[in-house]
Chain A
Amino acid sequence: MQATMNAGLNFDITAEQEAIQRLCRELADDLIAPAAEELDAKSEFPYDIVAKLAELGLLGIPWPEKYGGIGADTVSYALAVMEIARGDASVGITLAAHTSLGSAPFYYFGSEEQKQRYLVPLAQGTTLWGFGLTEPGAGSDAGNVQTRATLAGDHWVINGAKAFITNSGTRITGGTTITAWTGMRPDGRKEITNLIVPQNTPGFSASKKYRKMGWRASDTRELSFVDAQIPAENVLGGRGRGFKQFLDILDGGRISVAAVSLGLASAAFEAALKYAKERQAFGSAIGKFQAIQFKLADMKMEIEHAKLMMLKAAWEKDAGRDYVMSASLAKLYAGEVSRRVCNEAVQIHGGYGFMDEYPVSRYYRDQKVNEIGEGSNEIQRLIIARLLGL
């Protein structure tokens, strides 16, 4: 066979992609999965694990070396998030949100000075950063932002609230980039601007952590702004560009959320497969029964399918192609697969699956938000339908 520039369809990943995936798999097995039960029970943020990820360069995978990152591609990043989430979905979403939501806006829209000041410590993992889009009264209806920012001389005055903001209140959080309504556009719609709000801003506060069904070790908070003041220069990417910018950010974020769903689904599948081989009933392992075999075969099929969709979206992004449709399809499908797989994993475990001692019970709680966060299943279908010209 002759090697050519365009080698056509090829399912091999590169040696570096494989090495990164393998490293993350080892970290998940050695450090993350063993800690997951306790972190979940205590709703404790995994500071030690995040410090280890930072030390190894995992908090800056896609960003160039000159900004403190590794300069790896989206495929590497997606595989890394998937393997880390296989250890624990909370750690997976911490990594995904840090990179795709907290850091990406600085990389894509920041000035050189903002990149040096904000992106470098984020890529090195010494600080985390929130992405404040959702509000208590505006989730997917993000254009209807209520948080108001008014320019008063050399500073902005911000009033309002943000909801469900990941990584916004840890000990190492440096701040949050928010969307705010900064005026009216000629067409009568709100002018939306991205503003950089450092953690120590007067009038800005992060509430205590939410009590959640799943993802309990991840840091999720409500943010409030009461005459919060930031310097006028803390605009990210230009006044009035906020709406378009966060839509772009969300497109990229979907690949990593698909990766979180996939990692979780893989963990649930592996637990169910192991249990099916060990658990005895009616004189044999339950994995010998067709009812269980078919469940596991379906789980395997769906995970494989979702993984191919995620990798295709990542590959398209790396190739500089339009990946919006693929990312949305992958995010939607992987979220639904994680629901079905985690559900069947509990079912295969029977009564034990309902007990906290078995990780599948945690997986079942962790999966639900995959169908809600970063664009619900319904919103993904809307995006896909619009791209179909409907």
Chain B
Amino acid sequence: MKIVVTVKLVPDPNAEKKIDAGSKRLVRTGIETVLNPYDEYAIEGALKIKESLGGDTTVTIFSMAPAASKEVLRKALAMGADDAVLLTDPALEGSDVRGTAYAMAQGIKQTGFDLVICGGLADDGSTGGVPGALAEYLGVPGFTNCRQVEVAGGTLKVQRETDSGYQVVSGPLPALVSVTMAIGEPRYASLKGIMGAKKKSIATLALAALSVDGAVGGDGAKTEVRAVAAPPVREKARVVEAPDGAAGARAIFDLLKEKKLV
């Protein structure tokens, strides 16, 4: 079975970030590029399936990113993925969610897959829209927000997180799933993995090799960022002081009543 894990390369989540007022894009200069932390959960989920199935199951990392970030994918290979494919083309710059999902779908079709696993969202854009759109463009069922993914006898069985619990859903392969952090903490790359990663292949794919109709990149974007604003500063919390617990509870109750919340 061939598992493809989609990985986005994002600016270090711990770095301080700025938005460029002109382009309304994140300023990436001076910030290290890393694997999207949510995608590390997707890699973990894929490696777990590979371990449970054994045999000839492979895990391929698929990323759409500038060519310069290629080596960042090495970490995913050190964790245990078998190889990687980087879809890279200057024409892809400025792609929105739809354009990204469309271009990736063409690349993943070419790479071949039985199961695509995505992280729930990207740390930078945080739209969470790509997995659903990708499933659509791949023409396969999409199972989002999965906390557990099992493959047995060519059938997929997942647990989908909901606000009140989880749903157990089954479906056929090929398919796409997106996973939540409940899939399990991403493993550390072992030293053997790190040393072995340099021998693994990272292939690059350009748009010319795919059947893409041109509706990608900034020109093909159907969305436009009109304005960028910082979230409103929260009002200072009101501290209720009272001589004892009962009086405090009363004061808070009165406050809630005044706001018509009780």
A binding-site residues for B, Cβ under 8 Å: 15-16, 19-20, 23, 26-27, 55-58, 61, 70-72
User: B140 at the A/B interface (Cβ < 8 Å)?
Assistant: no
The reply to whether A19 and B190 contact each other, CB–CB distance below 8 Å, is no
With both beta carbons as reference points, the residue of chain B lying nearest to A60 in the complex is identified as B191
- Are B189 and A70 in contact (CB-based, < 8 A)? no
- Tally A-B pairs: CB < 8 A: 36
B189, A23: Cβ atoms under 8 Å? yes
Interface residues of B in 164-183 (CB under 8 A from A): none
Within 8 Å by CB of A15, from B71, B189, B190, B191, lies B71
Most buried by B among A26, A57, A58: A57
Say yes or no: A58-B71 contact (C-beta < 8 A), given A15-B198, A16-B198, A19-B78: no
> How far apart sit A16 and B190, CA to CA, in the bound complex (Å)?
11
Name the distance in Å between A62's Cβ and chain B's nearest Cβ. Answer: 11
Q: Which residue of B lies closest to A26 (CB)?
A: B188
Q: How far is the CB of A30 from chain B (nearest CB, A)?
A: 9
> Across the interface, which residues of B come within 8 angstroms of A15, CB to CB?
71, 74, 198
Query: Interface residues of B: mostly helix, strand, loop or mixed?
Result: helix
**A150 CB, min distance to chain B CBs, angstroms:** 43
* In the assembled complex, B194 has its CB within 8 A of some CB on chain A: yes
Within the complex, the shortest CB–CB distance from A98 to chain B, in Å, comes to 15
Residues in A with CB closer than 8 Å to B157 are none
Which listed residue (A26, A55, A71) contacts B190, Cβ 8 A?
Answer: A55
The distance in angstroms between the C-alpha atoms of A70 and B198, with both chains bound, is 14
Docked Cα-Cα span, A20 to B74, in Å, equals 12
Q: Looking at the complex, which one of B71, B188, B191, B198 makes contact with A61 (CB distance below 8 Å)?
A: B191
A61 contact set on B, CB distance < 8 A: 191
| B195→A71 contact, CB < 8 A | yes
In-complex Cβ contact of A23 among B71, B74, B191 (8 A): B191
User: Contact at B191–A72, with CB atoms within 8 Å?
Assistant: yes
Given contacts A16-B197, A70-B191, 12 further A-B contacts (CB under 8 A): A15-B71, A15-B74, A19-B74, A19-B189, A20-B194, A26-B188, A55-B190, A56-B190, A57-B190, A57-B191, A72-B191, A72-B195
Cα-based distance from A71 to B197 in the complex (angstroms): 14
A27 to B188, CA, bound (A): 8
Taken together as a complex, chains A and B put the C-alpha atoms of A27 and B190 apart, in Å, by 11
